[in-house]
Structure 1
Amino acid sequence: MTAAAPGAGGLAGDDGGRQRSEPMRSEPMLSEQRGLAAWLPRRLAEEQPAITVVGDFMLDGWWTGSIDRMCREAPAPVVDINRRDFAPGGAANTAMNLAALGARVSVAGIIGADDAGAELRRQLLAAGVDTALLAEHPGMVTTTKIRISSGGQVLLRFDDSAEAVPADALATFAAAVPAAVGRQDAVVICDYGTGVLAEPVRSRLIQTLARRGQDTLVVVDAHDPRPWAGLEPDLATPNAQEVARMLDLRLGNGPGRADVVTAHGGELLQATGARAVVVTLDWDGTVLIPAAGNPHRTWARPATEKQASGAGDTFVAALTLARAASLPLTASLDLAQAAADVVVHHPGTSVCGTDELGRYLESFADTALAADELERHIHAHRSDGQRVVLTNGCFDVLHRGHTRYLNQAKQLGDILVVALNSDDSVRKLKGPDRPINSVADRAAVIAALSCVDYVTVFDTPTPIPLIEQLRPEIYAKGGDYTPEMLAETEAVEAYGGTVTILDYVAERSTTAMVQRIRNGEGAPVPEA
């Protein structure tokens, strides 16, 4: 069982100044939550943030049929359509996902006074989305993308859209902007280049949102976010291809794209004007580039579903919801990755709801593998040419130091295995009052990190027996060690492995954190 899934924050503590008052409850305050848990989607939904989605609203069609003959007029297959499904796409899909995750959603845009527009509005209203500012115009054509498939394979997609947006429609939309985005917890701008957000709409949005207070989050999800740089958005979410076009880069298709993007992080921040840029890398996950702090990665769960679409919209929706509710930025990123992982395993354009996301996260509660079963998985990965990284620790109360070095460990190879000390082992190391969390709970939290592929538990004084059984190519350790100080080094080097020491975050200590909790103290106040 692979534990590759959504992550928890690698740079936790980066709340970006977004704070909301929260009631007393048994669960941690959202602004202090670092890892993912099954209760988190429900807790976020309880916040019910008011979010407006502005931009390009589309209708996706998924038509399926059978192929039994070839066309007489040309060497082309004939598809006998037996099913026609429609789903909101583009900005509408973002709105649908936000509503499914518990937000109070309103939308603003322009659609045609046509059958596609009527179907789009009907589905949005059925999902509880406020469409009062989704204007119909007789001179518009609702953008429609219809995919024809057979046997699970998309054969063709044909698009229908307006050649130009009528000037009077743009003027009316621009006049409605203040009403659309005023007093919202978040605004998502979805600009896919259809012309709906052209002038004067863009200038009015920038002018209006430039006066926003700190309580309004602005996310720009655009094919080219550069025209929105004057808005100074909180987040910009281009994908790898869009970054390549913006910066004139050649990214290729391998996992090294994240390194290239990170190396050009300063240029991306300047080009977008954003406080943080999240670059989505499809099957390679995402990379976060904040204006202050270090980059953070998430890793996606591979999917074989050939007819999935709209995972990027789901990602943006979950990211926006989480940030609007004050979840730290890196934890929000990891939650968004989890939501995207859910929908890529669904056919068509689909949404990820609160309950489904909670069940997905809950599935990692019993994820620790026995050493023998883990060895079989590792053998298969090694046969595919993948390098295994192993690290170990108690991981009793997850904190910034843990997640930072686990993300670093993942980047040393292809497969990351985390070995947890058993409860008895923790008591021997830390004392009779530890661990705070049982090994089952600790395994669930660690397994929910997108950078972690497998979790196992060991009960020996050191992980040497496990190392000798699994023979990882790289043994990683975080802390103020040298390889010579570790008892494990001799065992690793005996079979040709490498020991790597990762960053030590001195200001983060589980012991100190536990003591503050027991003393009823809050986080230490930073020095002036």
Structure 2
Amino acid sequence: MTEEVDAAARRIRDAKPRVTVLGTCILDRWTSGDVHRVSREAPVPVIEMRKVQSTAGGAANTALNAAALGAQVRLLGVVGDDADGKRLRDVLRAGGVDVTGLVSAPGATTISKTRVIGNDQILARLDTAGVPRPSDAVVRRWVRTLGALRRDDTLIVCDYSREMLSDEFIAALAASRPRCRIIVDAHDLGRWRAVQPDIVTPSAEEVERLLGDELPGPDRAAAVGKLAGHILHAAGASSAVVTLDHDGAVSLPHDGGAPHRTVAHPAPESQATGAGDTFAAALAVAGAVGTRLAEAADFAQHAADVVIARTGTAVCRLGDLLPHARSPQHGVVDDVSLRERLDEERSLGKTIVFTNGCFDILHPGHTAYLEQARALGDVLVVGVNDDDSVRRLKGPERPINAVEDRARVLAALGCVDYVVVFSEDTPMRLLSLLRPHLYVKGGDYTPEMLDETPVVDAYGGEVRTLGYFPGHSTTALVDKLSHRVDGAG
């Protein structure tokens, strides 16, 4: 799984595919603060505001995610000529989205959703009414723009309101269907049947609306698989990926092959805002570089899982996917692959922290130290001495645990991003190769005591020493266990 996500990410990075997003654009606003009392005017909490965050929603969020994943993105949509419309443009431009196709409708109000949060709990949501409508001239311009898309382009349609994308527009688009790949994410998929989408991405509720009946039985994924032919026929689509929130997603290929189910990481509904936009964007961007439907669905699921682990309406960047998709044992990488991954992390502006040791028997002193090291940056790399070098450093009776086991245990820690094994007594070669921003050691050392300090200084890095954690020692643990065994004999 990780290898497939890795391969897709590399193809995206190299190809920078072209993606056009069309649809309903929303400004998501998150206002948050602390609640310490109830109002005397009414039985409602008084929120002392701390933060207001404006993000993109709907088609705008899909566009922002596609750009964050490495695509060249153009957005076609309508906003009001108001402050919210200007703010949404600014958010999109900052995210690298081409907004020359985003039209300001005179006198219209930009769609917005304002969530009011007190003590990390959503207490209210305030929505603006009405949807800005494109003029006939704008609709004709969109049809011409879409008709000029090339075969290797991708169009994502995000249709959440009839006012925005009318039946007349859909008919015009169907009459001069673009040659490009078309993905439709719509509340009412039946409206898009004449366009013959390449892929549709309905939710379970949207499938039920499309078929006019509820999905049978308790296993929704199995039901979707059995109804594959009916779903594709009703949508007029070649393929489909049906999203089932906490049950993952089911991809239905065009060739009648077996459905493929992704595995989701369940999260509260309050954290799922915008995850569908991320899923559609990731599915489209992965598919644009030739990724098979099942693998593209896995890629999209990983991207959605990244954003639901965050608060608010979030985006998933290409560099976020590798550490997310990796299971603990995949956290152990060779030094060459690690250098490539760290180059990607560094290009995203992340601070890389490196530390090393034998880590023979992991104890609380180790975990406290590693957590403190991780807090200094964005990515923590742990170098682990192999068995031979441990014997040279600690004696012939060590290590207690083989290097494969020591590395897997370290990779399973939430604070550790990458683990790399080295065979030398010191990590000087690794430091020269990986060039981390920070080289960290425990408080029982000073930078002047370390042979590695001149290496780090030479490439412009920094050596840091952390606090000393007394009362915890692998050697002491080994001695204690030996005494117990001897006493039992």
The answer, yes or no, to whether TM exceeds 0.5 is yes
Aligned to 1:313: 277
CA distance in 2, matches of 1:164, 1:132: 17
CA contact (8 A) 2:110 2:131 kept: no
The alignment partner of 2:6 has SS state of: coil
Aligned to 1:234: 198
Aligned to 1:89: 57
Q: CA deviation at 1:261?
A: 2.0
- Residue of 130, 149, 159 corresponding to 1:183: 149
CA contact (8 A) 1:42 1:354 kept: no
| Residue 206 (structure 1) aligned with residue 174 (structure 2) | yes
CA distance in 1, matches of 2:45, 2:261: 43
CA contact (8 A) 1:305 1:345 kept: no
CA contact (8 A) 1:171 1:201 kept: no
Compared with structure 1, are the counterparts of its residues 359 and 42 closer, same or farther at alpha carbon in structure 2 (3 Å cutoff)?
farther
- Residue of 79, 97, 100 corresponding to 1:111: 79
Q: When the two structures are superposed, what TM-score results if normalisation uses the length of structure 2?
A: 0.64
The alignment partner of 1:238 has SS state of: coil
Paired residues, number: 333
Identity %, equivalent residues: 40
| Residue 337 (structure 1) aligned with residue 301 (structure 2) | yes
Deviation digits for residues 4-51 of structure 1 (CA, Å, limit 9, x no counterpart): xxx58xxxxxxxxxxxxxxxxxxxxxxxxxx52435413322111111
Compared with structure 1, are the counterparts of its residues 143 and 181 closer, same or farther at alpha carbon in structure 2 (3 Å cutoff)?
farther
Aligned to 1:291: 254
Compared with structure 1, are the counterparts of its residues 302 and 187 closer, same or farther at alpha carbon in structure 2 (3 Å cutoff)?
same
Q: CA deviation at 1:305?
A: 7.7
Q: CA deviation at 1:289?
A: 1.7
CA distance in 2, matches of 1:72, 1:270: 58
The one-letter amino acid of 1:195's match is E
Q: CA deviation at 1:129?
A: 1.1
The one-letter amino acid of 2:306's match is V
CA contact (8 A) 1:49 1:104 kept: yes
Q: CA deviation at 1:306?
A: 3.4
The alignment partner of 1:129 has SS state of: coil
The one-letter amino acid of 2:260's match is H
| Residue 44 (structure 1) aligned with residue 7 (structure 2) | no
Compared with structure 1, are the counterparts of its residues 232 and 156 closer, same or farther at alpha carbon in structure 2 (3 Å cutoff)?
same
Q: List aligned pairs for 1:111-150, cutoff 5 A.
A: 111-150=79-118
Aligned to 2:312: 348
Aligned to 2:288: 324
Compared with structure 1, are the counterparts of its residues 127 and 211 closer, same or farther at alpha carbon in structure 2 (3 Å cutoff)?
closer
CA distance in 1, matches of 2:159, 2:117: 28
- Residue of 234, 237, 248 corresponding to 1:271: 234
Compared with structure 1, are the counterparts of its residues 163 and 342 closer, same or farther at alpha carbon in structure 2 (3 Å cutoff)?
closer
Q: When the two structures are superposed, what TM-score results if normalisation uses the length of structure 1?
A: 0.59
Q: CA deviation at 1:177?
A: 2.4
CA distance in 2, matches of 1:181, 1:81: 47
Mind listing any 5+ residue stretches in structure 1 that lack a counterpart? 1-6, 9-34, 369-439, 445-528
More displaced, 155-164 or 342-351?
155-164
- Residue of 157, 165, 178 corresponding to 2:133: 165
Deviation digits for residues 374-402 of structure 1 (CA, Å, limit 9, x no counterpart): xxxxxxxxxxxxxxxxxxxxxxxxxxxxx
| Residue 359 (structure 1) aligned with residue 323 (structure 2) | yes
CA distance in 2, matches of 1:170, 1:86: 30
Aligned to 2:442: none
CA distance in 1, matches of 2:185, 2:258: 22
CA contact (8 A) 1:36 1:361 kept: no
The one-letter amino acid of 1:288's match is S
The alignment partner of 1:355 has SS state of: helix
The alignment partner of 1:347 has SS state of: coil
CA distance in 1, matches of 2:207, 2:236: 14
Aligned to 2:210: 246
CA contact (8 A) 1:298 1:333 kept: yes
Q: CA deviation at 1:279?
A: 0.7
CA distance in 1, matches of 2:80, 2:132: 12
CA distance in 1, matches of 2:269, 2:237: 33
The one-letter amino acid of 2:240's match is V
CA contact (8 A) 1:236 1:274 kept: yes
CA contact (8 A) 2:105 2:132 kept: no
CA distance in 2, matches of 1:163, 1:308: 23
CA distance in 2, matches of 1:336, 1:249: 27
CA distance in 1, matches of 2:41, 2:224: 48
- Residue of 67, 74, 90 corresponding to 1:99: 67
CA contact (8 A) 1:133 1:180 kept: no
Aligned to 1:18: none
RMSD: 2.6
Q: CA deviation at 1:195?
A: 1.5
- Tell me: higher relative CO, structure 1 or 2? Use CA pairs within 8 A at least 6 residues apart: 1
CA distance in 2, matches of 1:265, 1:136: 40
The alignment partner of 2:57 has SS state of: strand
The alignment partner of 2:42 has SS state of: coil
CA distance in 2, matches of 1:331, 1:54: 25
Q: CA deviation at 1:70?
A: 2.2
Q: CA deviation at 1:180?
A: 4.2
The alignment partner of 1:176 has SS state of: helix
The one-letter amino acid of 2:138's match is T
Compared with structure 1, are the counterparts of its residues 280 and 161 closer, same or farther at alpha carbon in structure 2 (3 Å cutoff)?
same
Deviation digits for residues 471-506 of structure 1 (CA, Å, limit 9, x no counterpart): xxxxxxxxxxxxxxxxxxxxxxxxxxxxxxxxxxxx
The alignment partner of 1:351 has SS state of: coil
Q: CA deviation at 1:182?
A: 2.1
Mind listing any 5+ residue stretches in structure 2 that lack a counterpart? 333-403, 409-489
Looking at secondary structure, tell me which structure has more helix per residue.
2
The alignment partner of 1:94 has SS state of: helix
CA distance in 2, matches of 1:231, 1:355: 34
